[in-house]
Structure 1
């Protein structure tokens, strides 16, 4: 319905413009008619000559252009277009000669050749002008529609990829935590129940909060704290843990579970594989939307070289998808492993 109205509006505007030009062109020859009669004659002439223009325009739009876009034979379609143009010019001249000159301007135009070069050229220019505008608008609309479809396809692909990455991280985290609970249960540790409680809180966050595009920085910090509490229970005095915060606005939004894989990695591939005293130092700073996250942990013999592991490879991809301005630096030394991440939270891209 909307498309039909737009088409009607286009042709009404064109008819008004064409009638105005017709009125200005023939008015010196029809001075013996009133102004209203002159306008009516101009509208009548414009309307009768509009029919062949409509025929040519819509045949090109709905037959020739789709055939060319589908990759059909180029020269055959061009030949059909030229043949259609010739038919339209013939129809135009027949309408002008045997209808407009006879019934619209009977006392103005004198008999003239049906296909004189000047009249054929005039018909070609008159048809080509409006048809060219209409065809250009159609091609422009087709191109914009194709770009919009392509944009939507890219958006759907990125959304699907992002959901896949997050769904990979959750089982990865759950697997690690269940390993912790299993180790405590084998020792019949009284800390098993508190660990299960912490795990339930984390799972509640993953199920009911992390599904949204962003969460507050306060919620992300709470998840990190809960995870660190789980690890402190597991490692007890063997672990030296520092978590320092300098946040100017905890209501700032951040992609959920974006920082947790770095903390998981520090324990799974650092602390858990160290035989002696271990440490994990974490510093999170947020100032004016610029978040800086640094984490350093012990490792033995470069055991923390995990650039190809699920957690960090996924978080790299998430950063690429969601934040246009970020910098991730990973340093893997002989005894320590460190991550330095900077994100401009204002550069979040809504997929």
Structure 2
């Protein structure tokens, strides 16, 4: 921010120097060589330029924000006209004063041009004011356009910031919804193990503590290492396998190089929860397949499981909450970089998620 302001100050200084110097370079050589003429010309020139600078910043910082931004155009034109008229009058009197002083000091014959030998051509009042009025018009126009452009840029940045904050708030809310949902299901699993008086209950509690530690401390960042997310997924699958019967075969594989890859946390858990919820049965054989495949910066996540109707519908409240949330998160986090496909064929439920990853 400080660097940007410094550049802005430098640009303004250079711009004003060019604005002041270019008219001087356009003065004919004989006037530049005439030091007396230049001496009386410079005060008027400087006063006029100071008024131009004043009008520029006064219009930019006060008149445009106070009147144009609030759609008070008539008041704006009234005050800007008064300001320009005041500057023109003051500059006119300054110019007349120094012109009179020059005439007194170097009084030539009345009505006679000593250089040309005949009276100088008359200079109309309109001719005297045309140049200054044009200068003020351009200054007002230029400063107004810059003020309007700056306001638009500021407004666009504020809208983007609001949208970012809104998206961040939505993502935080979705994470808060996912975590209790996951915790509720896991506690149910531990309760089931405890009811069976299983020796695996203590191990399940330790795994749950590990999972909660990950959720609480690791997922505060926008992204986590893909290797950590996969480790978290393995712990979750291990916890789920403690409660299912030997009739269910679980296959989990990771294909490809996961090094230096990052991903938003807790994207896969709802799909895996869904697979275990509806893909297991106490008496019938079933299979759950979970696969993560990385090719370059493309990640493919696949879950495939049997569907048992007595487990409930796949869109029940308990399972649908996590799936709906992760869909919303994907739309926010990967708006143009993901595809999600859900199919059910011959009693096999399959989800496929493809994501474009960034390097960690």
| TM-score of the pair, normalised by structure 2 | 0.82
Alpha-carbon distance in 2 for matches of 1:245, 1:333: 25
Partner of 2:286: 278
Deviation of residue 91 (structure 1)?
A: 2.6
Alpha-carbon distance in 2 for matches of 1:271, 1:18: 83
Q: Deviations over 1:119-163 (max 9, x none)?
A: 333222010122222222222222111111111111111111111
Deviation of residue 9 (structure 1)?
A: 6.9
Name the SS for the 1:224 alignment partner: helix
Residue segments in structure 2 that go unaligned for 5+ positions in a row: 112-119
CA RMSD, Structure 1 to Structure 2 (Å):
3.4
Partner of 2:337: 325
Name the SS for the 1:153 alignment partner: helix
Partner of 1:17: 19
Pair 1:107 & 2:102 matched:
yes
Deviation of residue 256 (structure 1)?
A: 1.2
Partner of 2:165: 156
Alignment of 1:82-231 (within 5 A): 82-103=77-98, 106-107=101-102, 116-231=125-240
Partner of 2:33: 31
Pair 1:269 & 2:288 matched:
no
Alpha-carbon distance in 1 for matches of 2:257, 2:6: 55
Deviation of residue 55 (structure 1)?
A: 5.1
Deviation of residue 173 (structure 1)?
A: 0.6
Aligned residues: 339
Alpha-carbon distance in 2 for matches of 1:307, 1:47: 80
Alpha-carbon distance in 1 for matches of 2:177, 2:121: 81
The answer to which of 124-133 and 152-161 deviates more is 124-133
Equivalent in 281, 284, 297 of residue 289 of structure 1: 297
Partner of 2:247: 238
Change in Cα spacing, 1:91 to 1:338, as seen in structure 2 (3 Å) is same
- The answer to whether the 8 A contact 2:280-2:308 is kept is no
Name the SS for the 1:235 alignment partner: coil
- The answer to whether the 8 A contact 1:241-1:279 is kept is yes
Change in Cα spacing, 1:307 to 1:250, as seen in structure 2 (3 Å) is farther
Deviation of residue 337 (structure 1)?
A: 0.9
Alpha-carbon distance in 2 for matches of 1:15, 1:25: 16
Change in Cα spacing, 1:250 to 1:283, as seen in structure 2 (3 Å) is same
